[in-house]
Structure 1
Amino acid sequence: MARAFNARVRHCEFKPGDLVLRKVLHITPDSRGKFAYKYDGPFVVKEVFSGEAIILRDMDGTENALPVNADALKKYYP
């Protein structure tokens, strides 16, 4: 079963300077239910670590302190 799943997984490689969207993982009290945004961003990849942890920064240059797992990101194409 694992082999069948792994055959269909698409691996994304991120490089510094790529634009990405971050999945919203928390539910806010003022959310709009099923109409809430699923992704937040765009962000710029600042640094990529070996364990698929990625440091992001906003488009205006402010850096996010916590690393984000690569599974919660997808590439953004403007």
Structure 2
Amino acid sequence: MEATNKNIKRIIEKMTVTYKDWHEMLPFALLAYRTSIRTSTGATPYSLVYDIEAVLPIEVEIPSMRVLAESKLEEVEWAKQRYDQLNLIDERRLTALCHGQCYQQRMARAFNARAENPQRAV
């Protein structure tokens, strides 16, 4: 939680001009945080929760291939695609879990290497 708050604070600091307007930028900072890929999982928090990548506002204004493809689908075909995506959600979450465990192992090895040889930490 502390790391999340630190990252959101860092995003807000880059977006605000004065400290008084931080509350106006909070929704945009949260959107940026939720739609950016985390190194530890290899996926965005949004995609892990909803099993679909978020449609960014710019994709609505300037349609991306994904938005164009989905807008031309009939309702039945869209429902079938969505059902197929939901069936794959467990697989995506397991992949993210595996990626997170590998990331933790890499971090533990790096920490242990620094602990064994303190001169290298500088």
The alignment's TM-score, normalised by the length of structure 1, stands at 0.23
Answer 1 or 2: which has greater helix percent: 2
RCO greater where, 1 or 2, for CA within 8 Å and sep 6 or more?
1
The alignment's TM-score, normalised by the length of structure 2, stands at 0.18
